Amino acid sequence: MKRSSINGILNTLIREQLSPTPDERTMVSREYEFLCSVVGGVCFQSGSYARFTSTTPVNDLDVIWQVPPAALTSEVLRKVMQGMDPGEFDPSEILQTLAVTIRAAYLKAGRKVTVVVQSHSIGIYFGTKDDFSIDLVPALAAGRTNEFEDDIYWVPEIARLSKTRRQRHYDLRQHIGWMLSDPRGYIEDARRLNEQNESFRKVAKFSRKWRRGCKQENPEFRLKSFHLELVDNDLFKRSPNFDTIDGIEAFFGTLEDYLDGPRFPDRADNGRYVDQYVNDLKPEERADITARIKAARSAVAAMLSADTEEEARRAIRKLLAGGTVAVAVAAVAAPALATTYTPAASFRPQRNHGSSHRD
């Protein structure tokens, strides 16, 4: 098959099978707009959904809510406006009051939801724990802006964790501090990159779906989805003319290089790395990751060497399953790609450098 034909198959699959469905987009917009109308003030989406890189099913949505200055003590307000850590500031009382307002609004609207207040966030659940939910995270404007003139915030440290890990953190009653965060900056950066090349968004979704397949096979799979998105972001900035198949090939071909040490300083705090966790990978965890990456490269090779559309689709399904077993045909059809990959210098990773949901 021609490379362009395989690229078309990938684009169609990402649009029709990996991206949030029209019903999901409608639902998320409805629930987000209703919640913001209730809590008032500065309220905005965060995370992959806001960056248009999320996949289906959409299980949760992070919403940032800026605590009104009037609700802060003069000491806390002075600290955050001077760029200082709010320290031991506890937002739980403010969140408890806000939760009462949220419950009343849903009750008045005839909606049955579960509102759970934790010390540093409010969870709103629209069914069982596996159904869609919103996590409302408080934020304090830090008195500084990013290069796009958007506010940078102090947010609870727990905001960097997944929904499951946040709950585990709460259950263990561990200390929760505050950290600088630039959610608007990541959103704007992704938006601008995707305006230049829409394949970025497609490859980011594909990478996330591969990670989800890995997690289904091994719940302890350690690679983080936002980290993988930053890898894609870096690759597309280095090679702005990539199409989807170029991006996928480069992602799996260079991913191991991105794991030998932290590469991505946090936008809000250059002293912290988003991917710092790679230094803490245990040998067995790294071995599992490496095996899955190698199997993915074999699947990419099988996809590229496919003679028919069905063969290409079979290789893609194998790839997205996230398994550790290589596709047999790849070892014969393209042994070099199945075992090693030499990236072009233009997108070889470097140390320490800092739309729409339809497809």
Render the burial of 196-228: b for 16+ CB within 10 Å, e for the rest.
ebbbbbbbbbbbbbbbbbbeeebeebbbbbbbb
Report the alpha-carbon distance of residue 205 to residue 213 in Å, rounded: 12
Chain region(s) in the chain for CATH 3.30.460:
19-187
334 has a pLDDT exceeding 50: no
Please classify residue 195 by burial: count the beta carbons closer than 10 Å to its beta carbon, then call 0-12 exposed, 13-18 middle and 19+ buried. exposed
The alpha carbon of residue 200 and the mean position of all alpha carbons in its chain are separated, in whole angstroms, by 14
pLDDT score, position 80: 81
Minimum mean pLDDT among 72-76, 177-181, 220-224, 343-347: which range? 343-347
Query: Under a CB-based contact definition with an 8 Å cutoff, are residues 328 and 301 in contact?
Result: no
pLDDT class of 135 with cuts at 50, 70, 90: very high
Q: Position 285: which residue type? A: E
- Strands 133-145, 60-66: parallel, antiparallel or unpaired by DSSP? parallel
Confidence of residue 158 (pLDDT cuts 50, 70, 90): confident
State pTM to two decimals: 0.88
b/e code 21-55 from CB counts within 10 Å (16+ = b): eeebbebbeebbeebbebbeeebbbbbbbbbbbbb
* 199 token code pair: 């394949």
Nearest in space to 59 (alpha carbons), one of 33, 34, 28 = 28
pLDDT at residue 89, as a whole number = 86
Whether residue 242 is predicted with pLDDT greater than 90 in this model: the reply is yes
C-alpha atoms less than 13 angstroms from C-alpha of 62 in its C-beta half-sphere: 24
Cα–Cα distances in Å, from 267 out to 43, 175, 192, 271? 20, 24, 16, 10
Query: Nearest 5°: CA angle at 58, between 12 and 235?
Result: 55
CATH topology of domain 19-187: Beta Polymerase; domain 2 (3.30.460)
- Phi and psi at 192, nearest 5°, equal -65, -40
pLDDT at 182: 97
Long-range contacts of 159-166 (CB under 8 A, 24+ apart): 159/62, 159/121, 163/59, 163/60, 163/133, 163/135, 166/118, 166/121, 166/135
**Greater pLDDT, 293 or 357:** 293
Nearest to 46 by CA among 60, 25, 30, 31: 60
Query: What gap in Å lies between CA 330 and CA 177, rounded to an integer?
Result: 49
Torsion angle, CA of 7/13/15/20, rounded to 10 degrees?
A: -150
Side chain identity at residue 111, one-letter code: R
- What pLDDT sits at residue 162? 60
**Mean pLDDT, residues 141-148 taken together:** 93
pLDDT computed for residue 78 by the predictor: 84
What span, in angstroms and rounded, lies between the C-alpha atoms of 221 and 223?
Answer: 6
- C-alpha dihedral sign at 118, 121, 126, 128: negative
- Residue 320 structure tokens: 């997205």
| pLDDT higher than 60, residue 358 | yes
* Overall average pLDDT of the 161-186 stretch: 74
